[in-house]
Amino acid sequence: MSRLLCPSLMCADFRHLADEVVALDQAGVDIFHCDIMDGTFVPNFTMGVMDVKAIRQCTEKPIDCHLMIEDPANKVDWFIDAGADIVYIHPESERYVVRTLQHIRDRGAKAGLAINPDTPVAQVMEMLNLCDYVMVMTVNPGFAGQKFISFTRDKVQELAALKERFGFKLMIDGACSPAVIRDLSGIGADGFVLGTSALFGKGRSYRELIEELR
């Protein structure tokens, strides 16, 4: 199976968001990745419900919403109603993680778990029973353009060994350069969130870059 390539729209040119989405869609991306930040769980504000609604109008491709917010249980419905197909929550920000993952599935969306660099796999093991996607943060969440945290590779390897047992896809978010994509694909990662390390701000067409990353 080819790797899933997921552009992080927080890195797109928001002056021309619709044009960016159309160009990325035509370039052959797989999933549009929307980073939702509340300024509390992470020290930044980014996208919101209206952005997701606007993106939904421009593409039929799947949209994921990565909720980097406190108490996401009360907010997941907003983003599913706006058109999200996949919703990631953080176990570090949610008291009843299993209940919220089940609610996402009950709403007809795919349930995702995003794991910070300092959260061990053992801490989330029971939660994997309800995950369609597991996303390893290979940088600290909040900002684009950070350096890859090398010890997260061990976590990717550990989760890759659990994919078949639990039936989830293993995703990577953070500093996904071509070299990182090549390396982590080799140990079992299924997909990658693409930001400034591999896709945006390169002065080349999205189609050309996506073809190379394939």
Q: Record the pTM.
A: 0.97
Mean pLDDT estimate for the chain? 96
Angle at 148 between CA 147 and CA 150, to 5 degrees: 130
Among 25, 35, 71, 154, the active-site one is 35
What pLDDT does 2 receive? 83
- H-run or E-run covering 210: helix 206-213
Q: CA separation (Å) from 203 to 30, 163, 174, 177, 209?
A: 21, 36, 21, 16, 10
Over residues 161-174, the mean pLDDT reads 98
Check if the beta carbon of residue 75 is closer than 8 Å to that of residue 94.
no
| Terminal CA-CA length for the chain | 11
Over residues 61-88, the mean pLDDT reads 97
Over residues 40-56, the mean pLDDT reads 95
SS3 63: strand
What pLDDT does 1 receive? 56
Q: Flag whether pLDDT at 112 surpasses 80.
A: yes
Active-site residue flag, 71:
no
What pLDDT does 146 receive? 80
Among 38, 64, 173, 190, the active-site one is 173
Q: Domain 4-213 belongs to what topology? A: TIM Barrel (3.20.20)
Active-site residue flag, 25:
no
The per-residue pLDDT for range 113-156, each reduced to its tens digit, is 999 999 999 999 999 999 999 999 999 987 777 899 999 999 99
